[in-house]
Amino acid sequence: MSDVGLDTFNTKYLIVLIASLGTAFILDTSAPNLPPIVKALIIPIIVGYITLQLLNWLFPHLDTKGRNIISYLDDKASSSINTTNYVQVLPLFLVVLGLFLFVLSKF
């Protein structure tokens, strides 16, 4: 079983969401005579459930790999922001931009 709670959004749920929305879109374009409740709710939920079960069975450690990738990207982004020193310049820039837009709106 996964160590992540049910209220956390993880990689598997992102893949299942994309698969379900893709199924709904394909059904909407290819089968216009199908009842809307079937093509927008029932079949995408079934496809999402089957996709989630297959992902749990085939890739049991997909969430930990996704968390590792997100942590790596977060560290790279925060370290590059820290090295550029934009954190010190950005608030002043926003204040000047706000004043400029305020003065511009008066004319």
Mean pLDDT (10-residue bins), the chain, 107 residues: 58 89 93 90 94 88 84 84 68 87 85
Instruction: Give just the sign of the alpha carbon dihedral 10, 16, 21, 25.
Output: positive
Residue 18 lies in a domain: yes
Number of domains comprising the chain: 1
Residue 95 lies in a domain: yes
Residue 63 lies in a domain: yes
Structure confidence at residue 37 (pLDDT): 92
Contact 5, 63 (CB under 8 A): no
Residue-number span of the structural domain to which 59 is assigned: 11-106
For the whole model, what pTM was predicted? 0.57
Contact 19, 47 (CB under 8 A): yes
Residue 2 lies in a domain: no
Structure confidence at residue 4 (pLDDT): 54
